[in-house]
A and B are shown apart, each in its own frame.
Chain A
Amino acid sequence: METLAFQGLVGLSVAMYLWLLAAGLTIVFGVLGVLNFAHGSLFMLGAYFAFTFYGLWGVNFWLAIALSLIGVGVVGYLMERLFLRHIYHLDHAFQLLLTFGFILIFDDAVKMIWGGVAKIPAMPGFFEGTLSAFGRPFPIYNLFIIGAGLLVAIVLWLLFEKTWWGKMVRASASDREMASAIGVNIPTIFTGVFVFGAMLGALGGALGTPVRVVAPGIGSAMIIQAFIITVIGGLGNLKGAFVGAVIVGVLSAYGILLFPVFELFLIFLIMAVVLMVKPQGLFGG
């Protein structure tokens, strides 16, 4: 029993990275209607920016995270203003082509700037060590990640449910024309939402920097899982993204423990079952 509880806790910490990534993806889809394939690349850029500020230039860890968010926010701003804006009215296929092109560009760009070799900077001292959980040592950093993921979930909920901006965003998502008619500046909202989504993805990448590997291609490796999560939870649904991420993270951890032979298959099985029972995803509709 304690083994299962511990494994679940570890899985939960893994799930939080997935949540941060899936959150941005699903918000952008929900509001802008764009399936951003390059969202994983923004996750990767967040990791590279954090590595550069924190690992290379020795900037304070928290400041490095903040700066990497701002950096990726700027990249997201340029992506939206210069490119995505012009294809909203076109077929989804064009969005896929454009965002897929961004994956290739970003992967090659980081290779040219940072080189192909994987990087992992040292862990900030205040995160070292473990706490006891279910009789086994659990890293403080993983606990911090769980806390950060939950905090982001709460902040997002407050932002979208309780603020004026959130209301405008929800209005634009549910009926663009009506929102526009009552004076909501749709283009500005779209830019803001895209930048916000990009920064969420970057946060996931940046927070993993001291424990995970920073390398070209990590974005495309992660985006597949993020898509699975949003499909399970329901495309465009924030609650669905959170639940989907927890399902994927925790069940993978149990799969590795209990069914090591077909653990990879397990996630796809869940996705298939969800699609059969609820084609719109658990919270879609």
Chain B
Amino acid sequence: MSERKKISRRAFLKAAAAVGIGGIASGLRGVAEAAPQKEKAPAKAKPKKKILGVDVIKIGGQGVTSGAHADYGWQMIAGSTLAIEEINAKGGILGSKLELKFMDEELKPAVAVKNTRYLATEWGAHFLFGVDSSGSSMAVGPVLPEIDRICMFTHASTHRLTEELVAAKGVKQIFRMSVPVYQESILSSLIFKDFPNIKRWAGIHCDYEYGYSTWALFKETLKKYRPDVEFVAIAWAPFWTMDFSSHIAAVMAANPDAIHATPWAGEGVMLLRQALMLGVFDKIQAWFQCMGGSVDILEGIANEVAAGKFKDKLWATARYIHNYPDTPQNKAFVANFRKRWNRLPNYSAENSYSAIYAFKAAVEKTRSLKTSDLIKALEGMEIMTPGGKRFFRPEDHQAVYNVPGGRVIKDPNYPIPIVGGDLKVIPAKDYYRHPPFTPIAMGK
């Protein structure tokens, strides 16, 4: 055991892959055993009575673990694993240990639904979490009442998940830890309404639910504050776009002052680097890369940021950024995450970490694993998380917390760039939509 001092990320992923369809339940136990200097959990002497009636609380997660977006699944695994290890080291939840199984949703709604059913009915998950794709989330949501499990969504960001499925249709098993597209669309319009010289906007957006809702909400909100603004060009890019040159060239033909872009993960890195190649940053005043504050993108463009190639014009936000808020809890989370995984946490990691702690809080409050009780416990819950205080709105089960947006800059305190220049902190209540919701006209 001693020669396995540190489980590297690659070894971890290898282990995850080796167990097959992404199930790392058994791998995880191996990891927990191999973790060094971890004092034997005080609860090693098995608790005599089981308050919850189970030895283990099973937590089933899913996210993308393959392809250009695979880092998001990895971050979910890393964040939830960290939380589970912390909780298990202190004896679990009311004497029951936590166990994780994580599956690849492949950004395909049908796969996500299959995973959901498998995790809940065959594997026996008590809780579900994760889901990267908005399309997958809209497919998983309606299945939850039937299998009677809570799913805490920790990335999928279409507003429709909480506005339509929870608030309008009453699917109570849906909760969302991560801020939806309000973040990239409304927050960014509130930031850029104060730039009088930026009048011509162009969009390079994802050719699916996520891109449509972001662009629609951004245009709608910005137009309210700035009737003089024009939206001069739009290019849509589907999943697996291997080259954005044509998209970039097409919108640049309209001479925009600024560009609003949603492609994320590896595709986001590729988009930004190809934009640099095409000399875009010599022409525009600002580029808002919606989820550009995610660690994988910051890592992917670190050299270019350090060399000043974006000329301070690159803006971004995320659903949590590791340098905000400046609280002891967040600092401890970031430090522990870095120690455990030798990398910084992105928002999927923080959201998944917090999701596990929200489950813990709900179970401790109800002292049961009954879904209907747990739903009541989560509704209206306030919980302190690394990302700050979150409040689960009872009407739509959306966690309310705020994440700032700002310029992407180099910071000597971190190995990769951060969203830290001109940081705009806007209270969540000012940029979240509020119930009762009015539908947004969206589409291409």
Contact = CB atoms under 8 A, between A and B. Distances in A.
Decide if A and B are genuine partners. yes
B17 A118 contact: no
A218 to B, nearest CB: 7
Interface string B330-364: 00000000000000000000000000000000000
A218 B67 CA distance: 7
Nearest to B20: A108
Given A115-B13, A139-B278, A215 B249 contact: no
B428 interface: no
B128 to A, nearest CB: 21
B242 A208 contact: yes
Interface in B1-58: 9-10, 13-14, 17-18
A284 interface: no
B68 A253 contact: no
Interface residues of B, number: 45
A10 B246 contact: yes
Given A120-B269, A142-B245, A260-B235, A115 B9 contact: yes
A115 B223 CA distance: 43
Interface residues of A, number: 45
B435 interface: no
Most buried by A among B67, B234, B238, B303: B67
Given A139-B278, A261-B444, A213 B266 contact: yes
B199 interface: no
A6 B68 contact: no
B279 A130 contact: yes
Interface stretch (B70-78, B115-123, B144-152, B188-196): B70-78
B277 A141 contact: yes
A40 to B, nearest CB: 11
Contacts of A6: 249, 253
Nearest to B67: A217
A118 B245 contact: no
A153 interface: no
Contacts of A7: 246, 249-250, 253
Contact of A111 (B17, B250, B303): B17
A245 to B, nearest CB: 13
A64 interface: no
Interface string B230-267: 00001110101011011101101100000000000111
A10 B249 contact: yes
Interface in A203-260: 208, 211-213, 215-218, 221-222, 252-253, 256-257, 260
Given A253-B249, A256-B250, A116 B235 contact: no
Nearest to B75: A117
A68 interface: no
A213 B269 contact: yes
A17 interface: yes
Interface of B: 9-10, 13-14, 17-18, 65-71, 73-74, 207, 234-236, 238, 240, 242-243, 245-247, 249-250, 252-253, 265-267, 269-270, 273-274, 277-279, 282, 296, 300, 303, 444
Given A115-B10, A120-B266, A136-B279, 19 more contacts: A7-B250, A14-B245, A111-B66, A112-B14, A115-B14, A115-B74, A116-B13, A117-B74, A120-B269, A120-B273, A137-B279, A208-B242, A213-B68, A217-B67, A217-B240, A253-B246, A256-B250, A257-B249, A264-B207
Interface of A: 3, 6-7, 10-11, 13-14, 17, 107-108, 111-112, 115-120, 122-123, 130, 136-139, 141-142, 208, 211-213, 215-218, 221-222, 252-253, 256-257, 260-261, 263-264
